[in-house]
Structures are given as structure tokens and as C-alpha cells.
Amino acid sequence: MESNSQETLEKLTAEVEKLNQHRFIRIHNSVWRMMLFQLGRGLAFGLGSVLGATIVVSILAWFISQIEFIPLIGNWASEILKQIDTTQ
């Protein structure tokens, strides 16, 4: 029984050492590395959100501009589409 317990403890120790060498743990061991990691993650999330929203709004504006039977909405969407085209 003692041999089995010792073997289990050695396996557990080896796994903990392996886990401590993992990149995720190494990043979170340092406050500065963790802050840089979180900054990069936040920048990527913000950029992705802005690009995604831009694409969705552009597609919606294009679809709305195709509606000719509702003059107010069609003209308004056409103006938005013209503004988008001139800024690009």
C-alpha cells in the first residue's frame, strides 16, 4: 500500500511540474506579463467588435437602400450608403 501511495505522489508531482511549465501559467505568474496579455486581448476584442459592427451596419444600410417602395427609408439609407462610399 505504501508503494502505491509513493508512486501516486510521484506521478502527481510530475504532473504539477508539467503544469507549471505551461504557457498560460507562466503568463499569469508575472503581473506585467498578465497585464500585457490582457491589454492585447482587450485590443483584439475591441477591434473585432468595431469591424464586425461596421460590416453589419454596412450590409443593413445596403439592404435598406434597396427598398424603393418606402421613400423616406430608401432615401435615408441611400444617403448613408453614399456617405460610406465617400469615406472609403
Element holding 37 (H helix, E strand): helix 31-65
CA–CA gap between residue 53 and residue 63 (Å, rounded): 15
**DSSP label at 48?**
H
What SS3 class is residue 5? helix
CA–CA gap between residue 10 and residue 68 (Å, rounded): 75
pLDDT number for residue 39: 95
pLDDT number for residue 77: 74
Phi/psi at 70 (nearest 5 deg)?
-115, 95
pLDDT tens string, the chain, 88 residues long: the values are 566 888 888 888 888 888 878 777 777 777 888 888 889 999 999 999 999 999 999 898 888 777 766 666 667 777 887 888 887 6
pLDDT number for residue 45: 97
